[in-house]
Protein backbone atom coordinates (compact mmCIF):
# COMPACT_ATOMS: atom_id res chain seq x y z
CA UNK A 1 0.00 0.00 0.00
CA UNK A 2 1.18 3.50 -0.77
CA UNK A 3 1.31 5.72 2.29
CA UNK A 4 0.50 8.57 -0.08
CA UNK A 5 -2.90 7.43 -1.35
CA UNK A 6 -6.01 9.14 0.01
CA UNK A 7 -9.32 7.29 -0.27
CA UNK A 8 -12.99 8.16 -0.28
CA UNK A 9 -15.28 6.17 2.00
CA UNK A 10 -16.47 4.13 -0.99
CA UNK A 11 -12.91 3.40 -2.11
CA UNK A 12 -12.02 2.29 1.42
CA UNK A 13 -15.00 -0.06 1.61
CA UNK A 14 -14.05 -1.59 -1.75
CA UNK A 15 -10.42 -1.97 -0.67
CA UNK A 16 -11.47 -3.73 2.52
CA UNK A 17 -13.86 -5.94 0.56
CA UNK A 18 -10.93 -7.02 -1.61
CA UNK A 19 -9.19 -8.24 1.56
CA UNK A 20 -12.32 -10.11 2.64
CA UNK A 21 -12.64 -11.70 -0.79
CA UNK A 22 -9.04 -12.87 -0.46
CA UNK A 23 -9.88 -14.73 2.74
CA UNK A 24 -9.37 -12.24 5.58
CA UNK A 25 -12.34 -12.16 7.94
CA UNK A 26 -13.81 -8.93 9.25
CA UNK A 27 -12.80 -9.88 12.78
CA UNK A 28 -9.25 -10.69 11.71
CA UNK A 29 -8.92 -7.35 9.91
CA UNK A 30 -10.31 -5.60 12.99
CA UNK A 31 -7.65 -7.27 15.12
CA UNK A 32 -4.95 -6.05 12.73
CA UNK A 33 -6.23 -2.47 12.53
CA UNK A 34 -7.16 -2.02 16.17
CA UNK A 35 -4.07 -3.87 17.30
CA UNK A 36 -1.90 -1.36 15.45
CA UNK A 37 -3.86 1.52 16.95
CA UNK A 38 -3.62 -0.03 20.43
CA UNK A 39 0.17 -0.10 20.20
CA UNK A 40 0.25 3.63 19.47
CA UNK A 41 -2.10 4.30 22.38
CA UNK A 42 -0.16 1.99 24.74
CA UNK A 43 3.01 3.99 24.15
CA UNK A 44 1.21 7.28 24.62
CA UNK A 45 -0.60 6.17 27.75
CA UNK A 46 2.64 4.93 29.34
CA UNK A 47 0.77 2.97 31.99
CA UNK A 48 -1.91 5.59 32.61
CA UNK A 49 -5.64 4.88 32.71
CA UNK A 50 -7.53 4.91 29.41
CA UNK A 51 -11.21 5.47 28.61
CA UNK A 52 -12.50 4.04 25.31
CA UNK A 53 -15.78 5.27 23.82
CA UNK A 54 -17.27 2.60 21.54
CA UNK A 55 -20.00 3.02 18.95
CA UNK A 56 -22.30 0.33 17.53
CA UNK A 57 -20.42 -0.29 14.28
CA UNK A 58 -17.05 -1.67 13.39
CA UNK A 59 -15.33 1.48 14.64
CA UNK A 60 -16.78 0.58 18.00
CA UNK A 61 -15.50 -2.94 17.46
CA UNK A 62 -12.04 -1.46 17.04
CA UNK A 63 -12.55 0.21 20.41
CA UNK A 64 -13.28 -3.10 22.15
CA UNK A 65 -10.15 -4.63 20.63
CA UNK A 66 -8.08 -1.62 21.72
CA UNK A 67 -9.49 -1.89 25.24
CA UNK A 68 -8.64 -5.61 25.42
CA UNK A 69 -5.10 -5.06 24.14
CA UNK A 70 -4.47 -2.22 26.57
CA UNK A 71 -5.81 -4.22 29.50
CA UNK A 72 -3.45 -7.06 28.57
CA UNK A 73 -0.59 -4.55 28.55
CA UNK A 74 -1.41 -3.53 32.12
CA UNK A 75 -3.41 -0.36 31.60
CA UNK A 76 -6.54 0.36 33.60
CA UNK A 77 -9.29 0.58 30.97
CA UNK A 78 -12.86 1.88 31.13
CA UNK A 79 -15.19 1.12 28.21
CA UNK A 80 -18.25 3.27 27.54
CA UNK A 81 -20.77 2.33 24.86
CA UNK A 82 -24.06 4.26 24.62
CA UNK A 83 -25.33 1.73 22.04
CA UNK A 84 -24.97 -2.05 21.85
CA UNK A 85 -22.86 -3.56 19.05
CA UNK A 86 -24.80 -3.69 15.78
CA UNK A 87 -22.45 -5.72 13.57
CA UNK A 88 -21.24 -9.28 13.95
CA UNK A 89 -17.62 -8.21 14.17
CA UNK A 90 -18.32 -5.55 16.78
CA UNK A 91 -20.38 -8.02 18.79
CA UNK A 92 -17.55 -10.55 18.67
CA UNK A 93 -15.03 -7.87 19.71
CA UNK A 94 -17.24 -6.89 22.65
CA UNK A 95 -17.51 -10.53 23.71
CA UNK A 96 -13.73 -10.92 23.58
CA UNK A 97 -13.34 -7.78 25.68
CA UNK A 98 -15.43 -9.46 28.34
CA UNK A 99 -15.19 -6.60 30.79
CA UNK A 100 -17.76 -4.13 32.06
CA UNK A 101 -19.34 -1.71 29.59
CA UNK A 102 -20.89 1.52 30.87
CA UNK A 103 -23.53 3.38 28.91
CA UNK A 104 -22.72 6.82 30.29
CA UNK A 105 -19.67 8.73 31.47
CA UNK A 106 -20.62 8.65 35.15
CA UNK A 107 -17.34 10.23 36.23
CA UNK A 108 -15.24 7.88 34.13
CA UNK A 109 -11.63 8.02 35.34
CA UNK A 110 -8.72 8.18 32.96
CA UNK A 111 -5.90 10.24 31.58
CA UNK A 112 -6.23 9.19 27.92
CA UNK A 113 -9.52 9.30 26.01
CA UNK A 114 -9.98 7.18 22.87
CA UNK A 115 -12.83 8.07 20.50
CA UNK A 116 -14.18 5.00 18.66
CA UNK A 117 -17.76 6.19 18.49
CA UNK A 118 -18.11 6.60 14.72
CA UNK A 119 -15.37 6.31 12.11
CA UNK A 120 -15.18 6.67 8.34
CA UNK A 121 -18.40 6.68 6.36
CA UNK A 122 -20.21 9.13 8.62
CA UNK A 123 -22.24 11.65 6.64
CA UNK A 124 -24.80 12.92 9.15
CA UNK A 125 -24.49 14.79 12.47
CA UNK A 126 -24.17 12.95 15.77
CA UNK A 127 -27.26 12.90 17.93
CA UNK A 128 -27.17 15.59 20.58
CA UNK A 129 -26.80 12.94 23.30
CA UNK A 130 -23.79 11.37 21.56
CA UNK A 131 -22.22 14.75 20.85
CA UNK A 132 -22.66 15.76 24.50
CA UNK A 133 -21.08 12.50 25.69
CA UNK A 134 -18.14 12.99 23.35
CA UNK A 135 -17.59 16.54 24.60
CA UNK A 136 -17.86 15.50 28.24
CA UNK A 137 -15.33 12.68 27.95
CA UNK A 138 -12.92 14.81 25.95
CA UNK A 139 -13.08 17.54 28.58
CA UNK A 140 -12.32 15.11 31.42
CA UNK A 141 -9.17 13.67 29.88
CA UNK A 142 -5.79 15.30 29.39
CA UNK A 143 -4.91 13.51 26.14
CA UNK A 144 -7.33 12.64 23.34
CA UNK A 145 -6.98 10.09 20.55
CA UNK A 146 -9.39 9.65 17.63
CA UNK A 147 -9.38 6.28 15.92
CA UNK A 148 -9.72 6.55 12.13
CA UNK A 149 -11.52 9.93 12.27
CA UNK A 150 -12.88 12.12 15.05
CA UNK A 151 -16.57 11.34 15.45
CA UNK A 152 -18.67 14.01 13.74
CA UNK A 153 -16.26 14.73 10.86
CA UNK A 154 -17.52 13.80 7.38
CA UNK A 155 -15.17 11.32 5.70
CA UNK A 156 -15.23 12.65 2.15
CA UNK A 157 -15.33 16.39 2.79
CA UNK A 158 -13.81 17.14 6.17
CA UNK A 159 -17.01 18.95 7.15
CA UNK A 160 -17.62 19.26 10.90
CA UNK A 161 -21.17 17.98 11.31
CA UNK A 162 -21.81 19.19 14.88
CA UNK A 163 -20.94 22.41 16.64
CA UNK A 164 -18.47 22.38 19.49
CA UNK A 165 -16.79 19.07 18.72
CA UNK A 166 -13.57 18.52 20.67
CA UNK A 167 -10.10 18.75 19.21
CA UNK A 168 -7.80 15.73 19.47
CA UNK A 169 -4.10 15.42 20.12
CA UNK A 170 -3.69 12.44 17.79
CA UNK A 171 -5.71 10.82 15.01
CA UNK A 172 -4.86 7.26 13.93
CA UNK A 173 -5.97 6.62 10.33
CA UNK A 174 -6.80 2.95 9.85
CA UNK A 175 -5.67 1.32 6.62
CA UNK A 176 -5.42 4.44 4.47
CA UNK A 177 -5.71 8.18 4.66
CA UNK A 178 -9.19 9.54 4.03
CA UNK A 179 -9.99 12.83 2.31
CA UNK A 180 -11.09 14.31 5.64
CA UNK A 181 -7.61 13.87 7.09
CA UNK A 182 -6.31 16.54 4.72
CA UNK A 183 -9.40 18.76 4.36
CA UNK A 184 -10.49 21.71 6.45
CA UNK A 185 -12.29 22.35 8.70
CA UNK A 186 -12.18 18.79 10.04
CA UNK A 187 -8.41 18.50 9.75
CA UNK A 188 -8.04 21.24 12.35
CA UNK A 189 -9.55 18.91 14.99
CA UNK A 190 -7.17 16.02 14.39
CA UNK A 191 -3.88 17.08 15.96
CA UNK A 192 -0.98 14.91 14.88
CA UNK A 193 -1.89 12.16 12.42
CA UNK A 194 -0.43 8.69 12.00
CA UNK A 195 -1.29 5.91 9.56
CA UNK A 196 -1.90 2.36 10.76
CA UNK A 197 -1.33 -0.04 7.82
CA UNK A 198 -3.61 -3.05 7.42
CA UNK A 199 -2.60 -4.36 4.01
CA UNK A 200 -4.76 -2.19 1.75
CA UNK A 201 -3.62 -2.46 -1.88
CA UNK A 202 -3.09 0.39 -4.31
CA UNK A 203 -6.44 1.81 -5.42
CA UNK A 204 -6.69 2.92 -9.04
CA UNK A 205 -7.73 6.54 -9.35
CA UNK A 206 -7.12 7.38 -5.70
CA UNK A 207 -6.01 10.86 -4.74
CA UNK A 208 -2.40 11.18 -3.64
CA UNK A 209 -0.57 13.28 -1.08
CA UNK A 210 2.14 15.62 -2.32
CA UNK A 211 5.53 14.53 -1.04
CA UNK A 212 9.01 15.93 -1.36
CA UNK A 213 9.75 16.10 -5.10
CA UNK A 214 12.91 14.74 -6.66
CA UNK A 215 14.52 17.49 -8.70
CA UNK A 216 17.74 17.03 -10.62
CA UNK A 217 20.50 19.61 -10.77
CA UNK A 218 21.19 21.06 -14.23
CA UNK A 219 23.17 18.79 -16.54
CA UNK A 220 26.87 19.45 -16.94
CA UNK A 221 26.35 21.04 -20.37
CA UNK A 222 23.36 23.20 -19.38
CA UNK A 223 22.99 26.87 -20.25
CA UNK A 224 20.34 29.44 -19.42
CA UNK A 225 18.01 28.54 -22.28
CA UNK A 226 18.33 24.80 -21.78
CA UNK A 227 17.39 25.30 -18.11
CA UNK A 228 14.38 27.29 -19.29
CA UNK A 229 13.47 30.84 -20.25
CA UNK A 230 10.47 32.05 -18.29
CA UNK A 231 8.66 35.17 -19.49
CA UNK A 232 6.44 37.10 -17.09
CA UNK A 233 3.84 39.48 -18.46
CA UNK A 234 3.52 42.55 -16.25
CA UNK A 235 0.70 45.05 -16.06
CA UNK A 236 -0.75 47.83 -13.96
CA UNK A 237 0.87 46.68 -10.68
CA UNK A 238 4.37 45.40 -11.49
CA UNK A 239 5.29 44.74 -7.86
CA UNK A 240 3.45 41.41 -7.97
CA UNK A 241 5.47 40.37 -11.01
CA UNK A 242 8.71 41.25 -9.21
CA UNK A 243 7.74 38.96 -6.32
CA UNK A 244 6.95 36.17 -8.75
CA UNK A 245 10.22 36.77 -10.58
CA UNK A 246 12.23 36.55 -7.36
CA UNK A 247 10.74 33.19 -6.46
CA UNK A 248 11.05 31.91 -10.02
CA UNK A 249 14.78 32.67 -10.06
CA UNK A 250 15.21 30.48 -6.99
CA UNK A 251 13.04 27.62 -8.30
CA UNK A 252 15.20 26.39 -11.15
CA UNK A 253 14.56 28.38 -14.32
CA UNK A 254 17.71 29.51 -16.11
CA UNK A 255 16.43 32.88 -17.28
CA UNK A 256 13.57 35.04 -16.01
CA UNK A 257 12.45 37.94 -18.19
CA UNK A 258 9.75 40.56 -17.61
CA UNK A 259 7.64 41.57 -20.60
CA UNK A 260 6.52 45.09 -19.77
CA UNK A 261 5.34 48.28 -21.47
CA UNK A 262 8.09 50.16 -19.69
CA UNK A 263 10.96 49.37 -17.33
CA UNK A 264 10.32 49.62 -13.59
CA UNK A 265 13.18 51.23 -11.63
CA UNK A 266 12.57 48.73 -8.80
CA UNK A 267 13.52 45.80 -11.05
CA UNK A 268 16.72 44.16 -9.75
CA UNK A 269 19.68 44.06 -12.13
CA UNK A 270 19.55 40.29 -12.50
CA UNK A 271 16.05 40.41 -14.05
CA UNK A 272 15.85 41.45 -17.70
CA UNK A 273 12.97 43.66 -18.87
CA UNK A 274 11.81 43.48 -22.50
CA UNK A 275 9.69 46.49 -23.51
CA UNK A 276 9.05 45.37 -27.11
CA UNK A 277 5.41 45.02 -28.20
CA UNK A 278 4.02 42.01 -26.40
CA UNK A 279 3.31 39.89 -29.49
CA UNK A 280 6.84 40.55 -30.71
CA UNK A 281 8.38 39.68 -27.34
CA UNK A 282 6.37 36.46 -27.12
CA UNK A 283 7.57 35.42 -30.57
CA UNK A 284 10.95 34.47 -29.07
CA UNK A 285 11.02 30.72 -29.64
CA UNK A 286 13.42 30.23 -26.76
CA UNK A 287 10.62 31.00 -24.27
CA UNK A 288 9.69 27.78 -22.48
CA UNK A 289 6.81 29.08 -20.35
CA UNK A 290 4.90 32.26 -19.62
CA UNK A 291 3.34 33.55 -16.40
CA UNK A 292 0.46 36.02 -16.69
CA UNK A 293 -1.78 37.46 -14.00
CA UNK A 294 0.14 38.87 -11.03
CA UNK A 295 -0.35 42.64 -11.22
CA UNK A 296 -1.88 42.39 -14.71
CA UNK A 297 -4.96 44.50 -14.02
CA UNK A 298 -8.52 43.90 -15.25
CA UNK A 299 -9.11 46.67 -17.77
CA UNK A 300 -9.28 46.43 -21.56
CA UNK A 301 -5.52 46.77 -21.88
CA UNK A 302 -5.02 43.85 -19.51
CA UNK A 303 -7.52 41.76 -21.45
CA UNK A 304 -5.64 42.49 -24.68
CA UNK A 305 -2.35 41.44 -23.09
CA UNK A 306 -3.93 38.21 -21.85
CA UNK A 307 -5.30 37.44 -25.31
CA UNK A 308 -1.81 37.93 -26.77
CA UNK A 309 -0.37 35.57 -24.16
CA UNK A 310 -2.96 32.90 -24.93
CA UNK A 311 -2.28 33.25 -28.66
CA UNK A 312 1.51 33.08 -28.61
CA UNK A 313 2.72 31.20 -25.49
CA UNK A 314 4.08 27.61 -25.60
CA UNK A 315 2.99 26.86 -22.01
CA UNK A 316 1.22 29.01 -19.44
CA UNK A 317 0.63 29.66 -15.78
CA UNK A 318 -2.43 31.86 -15.22
CA UNK A 319 -2.86 33.53 -11.85
CA UNK A 320 -4.65 36.39 -10.12
CA UNK A 321 -6.13 38.97 -12.55
CA UNK A 322 -5.75 36.66 -15.54
CA UNK A 323 -8.17 34.23 -13.91
CA UNK A 324 -10.79 36.94 -13.47
CA UNK A 325 -10.51 37.89 -17.14
CA UNK A 326 -10.42 34.35 -18.54
CA UNK A 327 -13.40 32.94 -20.42
CA UNK A 328 -13.96 29.65 -22.29
CA UNK A 329 -13.82 31.38 -25.67
CA UNK A 330 -10.23 32.43 -24.94
CA UNK A 331 -8.94 28.85 -24.77
CA UNK A 332 -9.39 27.94 -28.43
CA UNK A 333 -5.68 27.21 -28.79
CA UNK A 334 -4.60 24.03 -26.99
CA UNK A 335 -1.45 24.58 -24.95
CA UNK A 336 -0.42 23.31 -21.50
CA UNK A 337 -2.01 25.62 -18.92
CA UNK A 338 -1.87 25.70 -15.15
CA UNK A 339 -4.43 27.89 -13.36
CA UNK A 340 -3.71 28.83 -9.73
CA UNK A 341 -6.94 30.25 -8.25
CA UNK A 342 -7.74 31.02 -4.63
CA UNK A 343 -11.31 30.25 -3.57
CA UNK A 344 -12.81 33.48 -4.89
CA UNK A 345 -11.09 33.09 -8.24
CA UNK A 346 -12.11 29.44 -8.38
CA UNK A 347 -15.74 30.40 -7.91
CA UNK A 348 -15.45 33.05 -10.63
CA UNK A 349 -13.90 30.54 -13.04
CA UNK A 350 -16.61 27.99 -12.31
CA UNK A 351 -19.28 30.57 -13.13
CA UNK A 352 -17.47 31.56 -16.30
CA UNK A 353 -17.06 27.96 -17.46
CA UNK A 354 -20.52 26.85 -16.29
CA UNK A 355 -19.41 24.16 -13.85
CA UNK A 356 -20.43 23.42 -10.28
CA UNK A 357 -19.76 21.04 -7.42
CA UNK A 358 -20.64 20.49 -3.78
CA UNK A 359 -17.03 20.82 -2.56
CA UNK A 360 -14.05 22.83 -3.79
CA UNK A 361 -12.49 19.49 -4.75
CA UNK A 362 -15.50 18.74 -6.95
CA UNK A 363 -15.39 22.23 -8.44
CA UNK A 364 -11.67 22.03 -9.18
CA UNK A 365 -12.04 18.64 -10.87
CA UNK A 366 -15.04 19.83 -12.89
CA UNK A 367 -13.24 23.00 -13.97
CA UNK A 368 -10.16 21.03 -15.01
CA UNK A 369 -12.23 18.56 -17.02
CA UNK A 370 -14.23 21.29 -18.77
CA UNK A 371 -11.42 23.76 -19.47
CA UNK A 372 -8.54 21.36 -20.13
CA UNK A 373 -6.41 23.29 -17.63
CA UNK A 374 -4.67 21.84 -14.60
CA UNK A 375 -6.19 23.62 -11.59
CA UNK A 376 -4.19 24.36 -8.46
CA UNK A 377 -6.87 25.45 -5.99
CA UNK A 378 -4.68 27.16 -3.42
CA UNK A 379 -5.41 27.80 0.23
CA UNK A 380 -4.76 26.23 3.62
CA UNK A 381 -5.74 22.85 2.14
CA UNK A 382 -4.52 23.18 -1.44
CA UNK A 383 -5.36 20.64 -4.14
CA UNK A 384 -4.27 20.04 -7.72
CA UNK A 385 -6.83 18.68 -10.20
CA UNK A 386 -6.02 17.45 -13.71
CA UNK A 387 -8.38 17.23 -16.70
CA UNK A 388 -8.08 13.43 -16.64
CA UNK A 389 -9.34 13.25 -13.04
CA UNK A 390 -6.03 12.91 -11.22
CA UNK A 391 -5.99 14.64 -7.85
CA UNK A 392 -3.19 15.44 -5.42
CA UNK A 393 -3.56 17.04 -2.01
CA UNK A 394 -1.19 19.40 -0.27
CA UNK A 395 -0.13 18.57 3.26
CA UNK A 396 -0.46 21.30 5.91
CA UNK A 397 1.77 24.31 5.38
CA UNK A 398 2.60 27.03 7.94
CA UNK A 399 -0.35 29.32 8.56
CA UNK A 400 2.05 32.28 8.26
CA UNK A 401 1.48 31.94 4.50
CA UNK A 402 -1.79 33.83 5.03
CA UNK A 403 -0.31 37.16 3.98
CA UNK A 404 -0.65 39.21 0.78
CA UNK A 405 1.88 38.34 -1.91
CA UNK A 406 2.53 34.70 -1.10
CA UNK A 407 0.28 33.67 -3.98
CA UNK A 408 2.55 35.59 -6.36
CA UNK A 409 5.49 33.66 -4.94
CA UNK A 410 3.66 30.36 -5.54
CA UNK A 411 2.84 31.34 -9.13
CA UNK A 412 6.48 32.19 -9.77
CA UNK A 413 7.63 28.83 -8.44
CA UNK A 414 5.09 26.93 -10.56
CA UNK A 415 5.99 28.87 -13.70
CA UNK A 416 9.70 28.30 -13.06
CA UNK A 417 9.16 24.55 -12.77
CA UNK A 418 7.19 24.57 -16.04
CA UNK A 419 10.00 26.50 -17.73
CA UNK A 420 12.41 23.73 -16.71
CA UNK A 421 10.23 21.24 -18.58
CA UNK A 422 7.76 19.96 -15.99
CA UNK A 423 4.20 19.40 -17.18
CA UNK A 424 1.52 21.56 -15.47
CA UNK A 425 0.37 18.83 -13.05
CA UNK A 426 3.91 17.99 -11.93
CA UNK A 427 4.88 21.66 -11.75
CA UNK A 428 1.87 22.42 -9.55
CA UNK A 429 2.68 19.63 -7.10
CA UNK A 430 6.34 20.62 -6.97
CA UNK A 431 5.41 24.26 -6.43
CA UNK A 432 3.11 23.48 -3.51
CA UNK A 433 5.80 21.48 -1.75
CA UNK A 434 8.53 24.08 -2.38
CA UNK A 435 6.20 26.91 -1.29
CA UNK A 436 5.37 25.17 2.00
CA UNK A 437 8.98 24.22 2.68
CA UNK A 438 10.15 27.77 2.01
CA UNK A 439 7.56 28.97 4.53
CA UNK A 440 8.82 26.50 7.13
CA UNK A 441 12.34 27.79 6.63
CA UNK A 442 11.25 31.44 6.73
CA UNK A 443 9.72 30.88 10.19
CA UNK A 444 7.24 33.31 11.69
CA UNK A 445 5.78 36.54 10.29
CA UNK A 446 7.79 36.61 7.07
CA UNK A 447 7.21 38.96 4.17
CA UNK A 448 6.61 37.66 0.63
CA UNK A 449 10.11 38.78 -0.32
CA UNK A 450 11.59 36.82 2.57
CA UNK A 451 9.54 33.80 1.51
CA UNK A 452 10.89 34.09 -2.04
CA UNK A 453 14.44 34.11 -0.70
CA UNK A 454 13.84 30.76 1.04
CA UNK A 455 12.71 29.01 -2.13
CA UNK A 456 16.37 28.37 -2.98
CA UNK A 457 16.80 26.41 0.28
CA UNK A 458 13.62 24.45 -0.38
CA UNK A 459 14.83 23.52 -3.85
CA UNK A 460 18.20 22.43 -2.47
CA UNK A 461 16.36 20.03 -0.14
CA UNK A 462 14.99 18.22 -3.24
CA UNK A 463 18.32 17.60 -4.99
The whole-model pTM stands at: 0.94
User: What is the distance in angstroms between the CA of the first residue and the CA of the last residue of the chain?
Assistant: 26
Q: Contact, 245 vs 266, CB < 8 A?
A: no
- H/E run at residue 418: helix 406-419
Exposed/middle/buried for residue 65 (C-beta within 10 Å: 0-12, 13-18, 19+): buried
pLDDT tens-digit readout, 31-54: 999 999 999 999 999 999 999 999
Q: Contact, 140 vs 164, CB < 8 A?
A: no
Which residue, among 47, 81, 86, 48, has the nearest Cα to 64 in the 3D structure? Answer: 81
Q: Tally the C-alpha atoms within 13 A of residue 9's C-alpha that lie toward its C-beta.
A: 14
Q: Tally the C-alpha atoms within 13 A of residue 411's C-alpha that lie toward its C-beta.
A: 33
Distance (Å, whole) CA 45 – CA 453 = 43
pLDDT tens digit at each of 463 positions of the chain: 456 999 999 999 999 999 999 999 999 999 999 999 999 999 999 999 999 999 999 999 999 999 999 999 999 999 999 999 999 999 999 999 999 999 988 876 779 999 999 988 888 999 999 999 999 999 999 999 999 999 999 999 999 999 999 999 999 999 999 999 999 999 999 999 999 999 999 999 999 999 999 999 999 999 999 999 999 999 988 889 999 999 999 999 999 999 999 888 889 999 999 999 999 999 999 999 999 999 999 999 999 999 999 999 999 999 999 999 999 999 989 999 999 999 999 999 999 999 999 999 999 999 999 999 999 999 999 999 999 999 999 999 999 999 999 999 999 999 999 999 999 999 999 999 999 999 999 999 999 999 999 999 999 999 9
Full set of structural domains in the chain with CATH: 5-206 (3.40.50.10260), 224-460 (3.40.1190.20)
Beta strands in 75-169 (DSSP E): 77-80, 112-116, 143-147
Cα–Cα distances (Å) from 30 to 9, 11, 19, 27, 35, in that order, read 17, 18, 12, 5, 8
Give the pLDDT of residue 133: 96
Q: Tally the C-alpha atoms within 13 A of residue 78's C-alpha that lie toward its C-beta.
A: 19
Amino acid sequence: MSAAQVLTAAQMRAAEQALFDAGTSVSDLMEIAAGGAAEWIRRIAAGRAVTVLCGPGNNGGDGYVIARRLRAAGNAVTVIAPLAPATDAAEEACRRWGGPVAQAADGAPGDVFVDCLFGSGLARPLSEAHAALLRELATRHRYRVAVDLPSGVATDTGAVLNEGLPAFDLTLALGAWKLAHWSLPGRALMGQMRLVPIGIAEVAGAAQLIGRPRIAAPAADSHKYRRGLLAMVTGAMPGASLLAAASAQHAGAGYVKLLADQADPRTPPDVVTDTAPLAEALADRRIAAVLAGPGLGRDDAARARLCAVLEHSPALVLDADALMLLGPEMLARKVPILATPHDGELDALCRSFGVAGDTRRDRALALAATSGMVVLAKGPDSIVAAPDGRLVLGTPAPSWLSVAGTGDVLAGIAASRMATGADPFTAAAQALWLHAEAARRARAAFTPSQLAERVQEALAACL
